[in-house]
Structure 1
Amino acid sequence: MFYTRSRTVGSMKLEKETSETGRFVRQPNRFTTRIEAGGAHPPEPGRYRIYASYACPWAHRSLIVRELLGLQDVIGVTIVDPIRDERGWRIPGGDPVTGVEFLSELYLATDPDYQGRYTVPCVWDITAKRLVTNDYPQITLTLETAFAPWHAEHAPDLYPEALRAEIDALNEVIFDGLNNGVYQAGFARSQAAYDEAVTKVFATLDMLEERLSHRRRLHGDELTESDVRLYPTLARFDAVYHSHFKCSVRRLIDYPALWAYARDLHAIPAFRDTTDFDQIKRHYFMTQTNINPSGIVPRGPEIDWAPA
């Protein structure tokens, strides 16, 4: 039995994530329980289901890692509709596991007093019948560590112990300067807040351009968690963030090393098959009407993602 409300379930308004100085301040993650051996929610095949969107960059990471590690038969996935209304993310046809029509129902089944936005990705424990986590930075790390016994035979080690401190440090820079930085620019409500954010975005891109000018991937030749965290933002940059979020100083394709790197990742099936530009553009331009009141989805840009 899932908790429902007779009235419309409302999402947290953007204003609640805007500071007095017009800066966007992302809401904290409500559910942060770890899936770990010996805990209340141990890793087990078939016990968990990820709720994700092809449109959302934070959820995109989880979809990439699930495929890279060969966990498709270990952890289920439900894809939500890219167009979100005041009830939150809709599940087309209803969720085959829980039967709910909106992701909000799972949030409220776990915490009836929850008042924040209903975010993806999140993980449902089928056995405990509750959301375990919507802590998007931890979800991919959990797939890479707690679910290691079920990784495919030749799956990459995305979070090698010897590099974890370096990966964690770079991930913080990528998050602050780019993953979240584009949102801080796009949702800014003052010129000062926008100028601060957009300057940070392009300083981070400049740094990454220099870093990738002499290496194939962010930490050498092998894929890591850092590459997974960077790619979804790059994939959305020219299609959405450049215009919709006013990150218009330069385009991704204006960075030779970054653009070659992004196309190299896109050629990998786990990245390419989870990248849906149609859903990405429809979500941002049709859902975020506070920025795009008309809801019109622009044509283009026409970009060839095939490797050079």
Structure 2
Amino acid sequence: MGKLIDGVWHDVWYDTKSSGGAFKRSEAAFRNWITADGSAGPSGEGGFEAESGRYHLYVSYACPWAHRALIFRALKGLSDHITVSAVHPDMLSDGWHFGTDFDDATGDTLYGLPFMRDVYLKALPDMSGRVTVPVLWDKQRETIVSNESSEIIRMLNSAFDGITGNTDDYWPADQRGAIEEVNARIYDTLNNGVYKAGFATTQSAYDAAIHPLFDTLDWLEQRLSTSRYLMGDKQTEADWRLFTTLIRFDPVYHLHFKCNRARIIDYPNLWAYTRDLYQTKGVAETVKMDHIVRHYHYSHESINPHRILPINPVLDYLAPHGRDPMA
């Protein structure tokens, strides 16, 4: 994953030498919000009113952050209102690209651009920063609304309710403080923790990441022994933020990122919970395991220099999960 500097592409990986071998994730550059009436959100500027057909999602089916947005698009009945372009799973010297020689890689269906960086440059010609997905694009203003997945899913959670009539709420006001606490631990030690382990370039950086990661999996296993979902008997955004890591863990992170003390299938509650979420209406269609396996093993040359794709375990996500109802 390279980056733009003053509008010019540079093929440079994350600098782990300056951080003692530790992987440090970059901050999102675009932080505007779609709102029901177009008023400004918690950050950025206003003018992004929820309208059917106005917005477009650029995603990678391989990327867990983009996967969050795809899941919320499905859960909230937005498939007919927000269009999608999916990049090719291979992310090489030019970053994310719009090749179409892989199943479900759509190309750039809005502008026919060759690279994801070109979308960023269309919004900001002198852009400096990483070129990431997801990107929520405004077709009307021809600019990026947001490239912060945690905020995109909150927009999708509520901004379009008046259009779709879908009022399912995955960010309920009375649970927000508790959800934020759970999100914070899961993000630091697990969502991002797998990357901190996998991209570590020193033993000490790996050790610092891997032990908190499995401490969190142990904690989640215990939490899910008495609760169907993380916050009780109803799904919240915390579940979906966790799910995109769990669904990738055994096929990718266990081997590729050396997160190999245990697999998700070794945790009875976590494995059943993963299947429960996978079987939620509309979710299975967002999981493209061929993109996931191909992207990680083929794109990360520093980890897998010969780009050999593993055979991988056969996992039955449709097996009965037994978590409905729970005592």
Q: In which range does the TM-score fall when normalised by the shorter chain?
A: over 0.9
In structure 1, the partner of 2:323 is none
In structure 2, the partner of 1:41 is 48
- Once residues 57 and 169 of structure 1 are traced to their aligned partners in structure 2, the CA distance between those partners, rounded to angstroms, is 20
| Offset, 1:152 | 4.6
The yes-or-no answer on 1:21 pairing with 2:34 is: no
The yes-or-no answer on 1:143 pairing with 2:156 is: yes
Contact in 1 for aligned 2:58/2:86 (Cα 8 Å): yes
Q: Relative to 1, partners in 2 of residues 1:151 and 1:296: Cα closer, same or farther, differing over 3 Å?
A: same
Q: Relative to 1, partners in 2 of residues 1:224 and 1:18: Cα closer, same or farther, differing over 3 Å?
A: farther
Contact in 2 for aligned 1:213/1:257 (Cα 8 Å): yes
- Once residues 19 and 94 of structure 2 are traced to their aligned partners in structure 1, the CA distance between those partners, rounded to angstroms, is 27
Contact in 2 for aligned 1:8/1:86 (Cα 8 Å): no
Which of the numbers 36, 56, 74 marks the counterpart of 2:81?
74
Q: TM-score when scaled to structure 1?
A: 0.93
Q: Relative to 1, partners in 2 of residues 1:20 and 1:8: Cα closer, same or farther, differing over 3 Å?
A: closer
- Once residues 302 and 267 of structure 1 are traced to their aligned partners in structure 2, the CA distance between those partners, rounded to angstroms, is 17
Which of the numbers 123, 142, 163 marks the counterpart of 1:129?
142
Residue segments in structure 2 that go unaligned for 5+ positions in a row: 40-45, 101-105, 321-327
With 228-237 and 99-108 compared, the bigger mean Cα shift is at 99-108
Backbone CA RMSD of aligned residues:
1.8
Give the count of matched residue pairs: 301
Q: TM-score when scaled to structure 2?
A: 0.87
- Once residues 8 and 142 of structure 2 are traced to their aligned partners in structure 1, the CA distance between those partners, rounded to angstroms, is 23
| 4+ aligned runs moved over 6 Å, structure 1 | none
In structure 1, the partner of 2:290 is 278
Contact in 1 for aligned 2:179/2:238 (Cα 8 Å): yes
Other structure's SS at 2:71 match: helix
Q: Relative to 1, partners in 2 of residues 1:222 and 1:177: Cα closer, same or farther, differing over 3 Å?
A: same
Instruction: Give deviations 1:234-270, integer Å, cap 9, x for gaps.
Output: 0000100001000011111111100010011111232
Residue segments in structure 1 that go unaligned for 5+ positions in a row: none
Identical columns (%):
44
The yes-or-no answer on 1:223 pairing with 2:235 is: yes
Other structure's SS at 1:241 match: helix
Contact in 1 for aligned 2:51/2:163 (Cα 8 Å): no
- Once residues 156 and 35 of structure 1 are traced to their aligned partners in structure 2, the CA distance between those partners, rounded to angstroms, is 18
- Once residues 248 and 130 of structure 2 are traced to their aligned partners in structure 1, the CA distance between those partners, rounded to angstroms, is 22
1:1-308 maps to which residues of 2 (within 5 A)? 9-15=9-15, 19-36=18-35, 37-38=38-39, 39-91=46-98, 92=100, 94-153=107-166, 156-308=168-320
Instruction: Give deviations 1:96-149, integer Å, cap 9, x for gaps.
Output: 222212211011122223243311101111111111210111000110122222
- Once residues 204 and 165 of structure 2 are traced to their aligned partners in structure 1, the CA distance between those partners, rounded to angstroms, is 48
